[in-house]
Amino acid sequence: MRSYFIPLLFVTCLFADTAFAQIKVKAKATPDAPTISRHIYGHFAEHLGRCIYDGFYVGEDSNIPNKEGVRLDVVEALKEMKIPNLRWPGGCFADTYHWEDGIGPKKDRPSMLNIWWGNVKEDNSFGTHEFLNMCELLETEPYLSANVGSGTSQEFADWIKYTTHPAGSSPMPELRAKNGRSEPWKVKFWGIGNEAWGCGGNMRPAYYADVYRRFATFSTNWNNADGLVRIASGASSSDYNWTEVLMKNIPKNLIEAIALHHYSVIDWGAKGSAKDFTEAQYFTIMQRALMMEELIQKHVAIMDKYDPDKKVDLYVDEWGGWYEVEPGTNGAFLYQQNTMRDAMLAATTLNIFNNHADRVKMANIAQAINVLQAVILTNEEKLLLTPTYHIFKMYNVHHDAQLIPLAFESPLYIYNNKVLPAVSASASRDKVGNVHFSLVNIDSKKSQAIEIDVAALNLESVTGEILTSDKLQDHNTFENPNKVQTKKFDAAVLANGMLRLDIPPFSVIVLEGTK
């Protein structure tokens, strides 16, 4: 068996403005270092506001270039970002959605009332075929959320057969062929309900555990030879009891993953503006974002208690910043702008996920287009890429790369006698041997000086990319879509086995070291 030598990084940061933070690298054989799953970089698309309609889907008759109604500029942007998976149809919408209403000729599909998001009419013109065909166009993996709140286990089992079973094997594939698709799609990920503690049914954890067991039992054959990933509706933020009850009461042969939802919100009663915010509000949002570290540690500790062999994965399948909607827009559509603050939120959170790659195997930022912390905003024929989009594109170097563990003491970001760690980091080695460091400085005013001993890595060259701007409130608009964008970073100096750089305030830098 080949041994892999993965550098273990120790970081000690000094607080004098003129001193370098010492990051000492030591080569250490760690062949069991986990792989950072590309699915950590997943996305979420709910029938909410303008995420599906006017976002992904404009209809076949639109003047906007499309394929079967799906915007081609969206496809191009998401493929360039290397989107690994997409969760659909919800969210809260999933537990009122009946998939059979969204198949067959569109003129015959019944409409429904979207009670969760504005009581608007849903005509079901974007259904199972449209979504799964779009995923093939995107070259991404679908993640389907099943209706547990108002659906049945039979309905769920039929959806699995309709989408994944081969032609001629049962009545469901025959129905699929009648609707224009003879070959099955590849659908591996199946959520069994969404937020069962809330909009998914306001269930108690013990009750949901029993409901989950029933749905999971009928989801596949007795030994799950189909290889489906069945995902339990997990906890909201720090509801550790929910995780405890589910892990204790769901047999491990019925579950492959458990979810976790956590939004970064200033206050649910006063969320604050997405783009006109104070430093105090920025600090609070970063505090909420960095809570993800504690949440993962504590939920994983419970999972380890009942699953020491780590058979069950943790999926953070809803996360991101949540603010007040943009003035003049529908309050139920959750449309918000996206600033450098959101870039800081995304980058630090992704670093946390990377560093917990042994358990965190999927995450889905909410949501992909025009809703909450979107990577894309659209306005009729116009499209812009947000600062969050650029973070996901910068970080795609970590997809399926081997984690390089980091241990460090960060300098402090101090505001109004409160403190947060200023520096966030993660690192990995890709399949061809290149090493990548993603470094974040959330301090609103101070640069951070970093010195990395890379002698053990035998690096011959280092290149970099940076995302930063003049103000935390800076964002892209349809009039100025490139105000915030990545730039080449060539201020990292490699000499005598040492790598030195300064990270400006509220900036993200990704470095690539090659031999």
Q: What is the 3-state secondary structure (H, E, C) of 173-184?
A: HHHHHHCCCCCC
| Coil vs helix vs strand at 58 | coil
Distance of alpha carbon 156 from alpha carbon 102, whole angstroms: 14
Q: HSE-up of 19 (CA within 13 Å, CB side)?
A: 9
Q: What is the CA radius of gyration of the chain?
A: 23
Close Cβ partners of 178 (under 8 Å, ≥ 6 residues apart): none
Strand partners, 383: 378
> Which residue among 141, 195, 256, 465 is the active-site one?
195
Token pair for 514: 């090659």
Contact 341, 282 (CB under 8 A): yes
Q: What is the 3-state secondary structure (H, E, C) of 284-353?
A: HHHHHHHHHHHHHHHHHHHHHHHCCCCCCEEEEEEEEECCCCCCCCCCCCCCCCCEHHHHHHHHHHHHHH
Residue whose entry in the numeric block shows the structure tokens 């892999």: 4
Contact 317, 368 (CB under 8 A): no
- Pick from 236, 200, 233, 51: which is nearest to 116 by CA? 200
> Which residue among 318, 381, 451, 479 is the active-site one?
318
**Dihedral over Cα of 175, 178, 183, 185: its sign:** negative
- Pick from 74, 75, 115, 111: which is nearest to 91 by CA? 115
| Active site (annotated) includes residue 136 | no
| Active site (annotated) includes residue 195 | yes
Token pair for 340: 């450098």
Pairing of β 493-495 and β 257-264 = unpaired
Contact 413, 422 (CB under 8 A): yes
Token pair for 403: 């984690």
Measured in residues, the chain has a length of: 515
Please give the span between the terminal C-alpha atoms of the chain, in angstroms, as a whole number. Answer: 23
Q: Which residues are catalytic?
A: 195, 318
